[in-house]
Amino acid sequence: MLPHDLLPYETVYKYWQKWRRRGIWQLIHDYLRDQLGAVNTVEGFDNYGEMNEQGKHEL
């Protein structure tokens, strides 16, 4: 069930199906995954959310 301020479920599902068939959904997924990976690398985390060498702090 979607919140009342969004489009009806049937409309959202039709868009999702169309985007999935055309490969748009995969493009969105890949883009977001790449953006998250870039942010995590800059902030000192690897792609799995664990600290990498860059993110270790000396006490």
For 27, residues 6+ apart whose C-beta sits below 8 A from its C-beta are none
- Say how far apart CA 59 and CA 50 lie, in whole Å: 19
Evaluate if pTM is beyond 0.75.
Answer: no
pLDDT tens, per residue, the chain with 59 residues: 667 888 998 998 999 999 999 999 899 888 888 877 766 555 555 555 555 455 554 43
In SS3 terms, 8-55 reads as CHHHHHHHHHHHHHHCHHHHHHHHHHHHHHHHHHHCCECCCCCECHHH
